[in-house]
């Protein structure tokens, strides 16, 4: 569905060049919920802007439903965005219904690994624009391989998400 390969995004000024994303490859399949997570500055927004076709990239390939985004002009890109992409801010409790009822795929952007675990099938942990670790939500959360992920998990803040009797996501105290 959404396939990025080797994406690089650099912000250039007269004196310096900042790489927001380096060689980023992400594949989201139909009905898959994937989370992109990591601390401030790791490249989440840079990724989101490219995924939503709101910003350009310097290197790599981006395919959306088999269409090569890079080769499109602005009008074609706007049309594709309109047809294929939706942005949802914060109201994530109903998103699982969309997945089951409509088969939509979702990329969930958050710095909170604890929240991400309950929503996503798989997790991509970004560090300085590079994928530090990726895998199923359960494996990344319960058996993190990268030291960086372990540190992020240890630093994850208080409230945890759970499910109420209607299967909606709710915050739980403690944990
Ligand atoms: N317009 C810009 N010009 C120069 N550098 C930028 C610009 N926008 C982002 N960056 C840099 O790119 C990197 C990635 O930034 P990005 O905004 O994607 O991080 P983020 O993960 O979304 O952070 P946050 O959690 O704070 O939203 C950072 O080093 C940031 O300083
Ligand atoms: Mg951001």
Domain map of the chain by residue range?
2-172
- The predicted structure's pLDDT at residue 175: 45
First to last CA, the chain: 35
pLDDT bin (cut points 50, 70, 90) of residue 114 is confident
Closest CA to 1 of 101, 102, 94, 90: 102
Which ligand gives the minimal distance to the CA of 47? 1
Q: Whose CA is nearest to atom 4 of ligand 1?
A: 11
**Nearest-atom index, ligand 1, CA of 49:** 18
Q: Structure tokens of 2?
A: 């959404």
Domain 2-172 class in CATH: alpha beta
The 3-state secondary structure of 152-164 reads: HHHCCCCCEEEEC
pTM, two decimal places: 0.80
Question: Quick one: how far is CA 65 from the chain centroid?
Answer: 17
Q: Locate tokens 């602005």: which residue?
A: 74
49 CA → ligand 2 middle, Å: 10
pLDDT digits (tens, 9 = 90+) for 3-52: 999 999 999 989 999 999 999 999 999 889 999 999 899 999 999 999 99
């Amino acid at each position: 569905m959404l396939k990025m390969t080797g994406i690089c995004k650099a912000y250039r000024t007269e004196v310096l060049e900042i790489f927001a994303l380096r060689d980023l490859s992400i594949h989201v399949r139909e009905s898959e919920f994937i989370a992109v997570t990591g601390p401030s500055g790791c490249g989440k927004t840079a990724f989101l802007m490219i995924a939503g076709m709101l910003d350009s990239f310097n290197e790599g390939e981006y395919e959306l439903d088999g269409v090569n985004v890079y080769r499109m002009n602005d009008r074609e890109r706007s049309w594709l965005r309109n047809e294929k992409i939706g942005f949802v801010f914060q109201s994530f409790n109903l998103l699982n219904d969309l997945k089951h009822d409509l088969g939509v795929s979702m990329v969930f952007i958050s710095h909170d690994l604890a929240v991400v675990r309950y929503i996503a099938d798989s997790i991509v942990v970004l560090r300085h624009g590079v994928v530090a670790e990726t895998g199923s939500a359960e494996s990344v959360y319960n058996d993190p391989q990268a030291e960086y992920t372990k540190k992020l998990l240890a630093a994850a803040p208080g409230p945890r998400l759970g499910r109420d009797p209607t299967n909606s996501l709710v915050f739980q105290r403690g944990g």
